[in-house]
Amino acid sequence: MKQLSIIRRVLFACQGIVQAWRYEASFRTHCLATLFVVLVLIWKQPEPLWWAILLFTCAAVLAAELLNTALEHTLDHLSPQEHPAVGIAKDCAAGAVLILSVGALAVFIAFLAET
């Protein structure tokens, strides 16, 4: 992979995002939430700092969801049978997404309270 051009690496990354959109309802839900945040930002026209904070927060949630998806698919491939360790790993990854999502919601509520 190190020898591939930046364009090819970006295309692989885009394929991952497309696959997550196709097969992961949670990813689609977070994308729609991000769209909602962007529409509220356009409507409210806050200071640039709020744009940066909210967009970075949304990006972090989407990135965590992609990592969770990657981990789930890898673990399901490596261990098709149920295994307690696999369950713990998948639950922890989902918990990370949940924590980031709650944090993102708190940031959005703070934004709404201030504007």
Given the residues 24, 47, 65, 72, select the one marked as catalytic. Answer: 65
- Compute the distance between CA of residue 26 and CA of residue 16 in angstroms, rounded to an integer: 15
Q: Annotated catalytic, 114?
A: no
- Angle among Cα 88, 92, 96 to the nearest 5 degrees reads 175
Residue positions annotated with a catalytic role: 65
